[in-house]
Each structure stands twice: as C-alpha cells, then as structure tokens.
Structure 1
C-alpha cells in the first residue's frame, strides 16, 4: 500500500519528524550535524523555513515550497539520510531496516499538514514555538536555544516573554 500525501506546488506545510527512539536526545546533542544536513539539502532543493523547533527526539517545522515544486518528501528523506550518514553507528538495527540499507535512527514516516490560510499558519507557528514549554524543557519559549522563535524576536514579531504566564499577580501594590 502506498501512503498518499497532500502535495501542492508552492504550498506551506507543517511537519512533525521523530527519531525512532523517543528516549533519545540525538537531535539536540548533534544539532550541528542536523543544521548542516538541512543547509546542504536546502541549497540543492530550496524551500523557505517559516518556523522550526528541534527537541531532543523530535522536531516540528513549517516550510514554504517553491512555486513549481511540492516534493517535501524528497527533502526530508535527504535530510534524514545526511544526518544518519554523519552519525556514528550505535543503534540496534532490525532485519527489515538492514535489508533496506536503513539505519535505526528515524521513524520511517513523518506527519505533514498543508497550511490553509493565515490563521492556520499563525496557529501552527505558535505551536512550533511553544512546544519546548509544552514538553517541560523550559518555562519560556525564548529560553529554548533550538527554535526559530529567536528570529521572530530579532525581527520584532515576538517579545522574549511571548506566551509566558505571569508568575504572580499584583493587587494593591503587593504580590499575591
């Protein structure tokens, strides 16, 4: 059975990509290798990164594809492949993966959602940026180093305390 994906040339997509082991921290431990893999693939097969967050064992990204191209699957395959080639072999590899020449680093599939309009895009960008808080890695989204939130802050689109809950309320001049 062939897995069918939505493909719209020039479309904007939200992705979730996972490592095979949800207990791994390989993505942040080897962020340099991931960045180089993305850079290399992006040079050959362009796409625009609207948002991205890398957590220890998974990542979320929002890409805008070129107007004449919708092949994000090829890009993800190449990013995963380049990352895998650069990482030392440590994982146990099952017979099925071994027969296909695969490593055991990544989940085979990824999840994608075709963005439908500005409100959908804004909701997904927020989701990407708040994800390290949701998973309990930091209290403020801007404290997570592997996130496009820093570009949004530099560009004045967000503040460093974006999405933060106030730690205390002030009533009659005193903290409660």
Structure 2
C-alpha cells in the first residue's frame, strides 16, 4: 500500500478538493441541503474556520483553517464524508456499498495543500470562486449559487461582477 505523506501544520490553513467517484454525478448540488448540514455538524464537533467553499456537481473545494494547536483535518473530512452518506441513506438515496461495505460514492482520498502566505490564500480563494466558470457551469461567478463568493460580495470584499465575462474588453478590440 502507498504511504501518503500529508502536510500537518498546527492551526494551518488548507485547501482541499473532495471528489465523487462518479464524475458524471450531480449529487452534491442536488442534495446541497444534506451537504451543508453535514458540514455544519462537523464544524460544531470539530471546530474550524471556513474561509471559502464552492460545491460543484461532482466535487467541492474547501479552504479552512484549523484551531491553533490542531492538525487533524483528516478526521474532519472523514466525518464530513460519512455524515453526508448517512444523511443520503436516511433521505432514501440509493447508495451502493463499495469495497469492505463502505459507501462507494466518494473517491477514497482527497487533495490537500497548505496555504503558505497571503498571496497563496488569495490565489486559492480566487480559484475556488472561479471554478464554476472554469467548468462551464456559468458564464459569471455570481450566477453559481453554491459558493462563498456571495458572502464575499455581501461583506464588500468583492464586487458582484468579479471575474465575469459581461463587459469584458479585450486588448486590441477597437
């Protein structure tokens, strides 16, 4: 078995990508209510600060910061995935067991990146917010409902038309 090395920084800020096994699925946005509740529950049991998030049909990106002496993001992500699956089953979603009886909806692992500095933080927040445009779900960031972008707009951090295609003038167009 491969021995994965994970970066562990106490109180660190991390960027994560969690992906469904079925990349054609829309389960995450179709059951956004259950996903949000699972995240809230994990945050209550194992606190963290959620800086930014985007939920796509088949994957999600989280940017979160752990409490000062804490390095255990893996337990949070494991609990989050498990609570979402449990809620799906309770809601009557057909969940087939995967290997060893576990629900087979999530990819087994996740992508993690330790945020190094303010510039890295800003780049990853921008990446998260632009993701729905990148994947062709919308033309403007503001049109994707499952994103912390809307909180950034409400707080006056970003303008509502940030990174959209509308009104974009290209160099050389006269």
**TM-based fold match above 0.5:** yes
CA distance in 1, matches of 2:134, 2:168: 20
User: CA offset at residue 46 of structure 1?
Assistant: 0.2
CA displacement 1:105-151 (0-9 Å, x = unmatched): 10000000000000000000000000000000011111100000001
Task: Report the structure number with the largest CA radius of gyration.
Answer: 1
Q: CA separation in 1, counterparts of 2:97 and 2:124? A: 34
Which residue number in structure 2 is paired with residue 159 of structure 1? Answer: 159
1:90 aligned onto 2:91: no
The alpha-carbon distance between structure 1 residues 168 and 77, as it changes in their structure 2 partners (threshold 3 A), is: closer
The count of residues paired between Structure 1 and Structure 2 equals: 168
Distance in 2 of aligned mates of 1:82 and 1:166: 39
Q: How does 1:41-120 map to 2 (within 5 A)?
A: 41-88=42-89, 89-94=93-98, 97=99, 99=100, 101-120=101-120
The answer to whether the aligner puts 1:35 opposite 2:39 as a matched pair is no
Q: What are structure 1's unaligned runs of at least 5 residues?
A: 170-174
**In 2, distance between residues paired with 1:86 and 1:120?**
34
1:140 aligns with 2:162: no
- TM-score, length-normalised on structure 1? 0.90
TM-fit CA distance, 1:4 = 1.6
Q: Following superposition, which runs of at least 4 residues in structure 1 exceed 6 angstroms of deviation? A: none
Normalising by structure 2, we get a TM-score of: 0.91
How far apart in 1 are the matches of 2:113 and 2:14?
6
2: CA distance between counterparts of 1:167 and 1:44? 45
**SS state of the match for residue 41, structure 2?**
helix
Whole-angstrom distance in 2 between the partners of 1:45 and 1:92: 28
Whether 1:19 and 2:14 are equivalent positions in the alignment is: no
Aligned to 2:123: 123
Alignment-derived partner of residue 149 in structure 2: 149
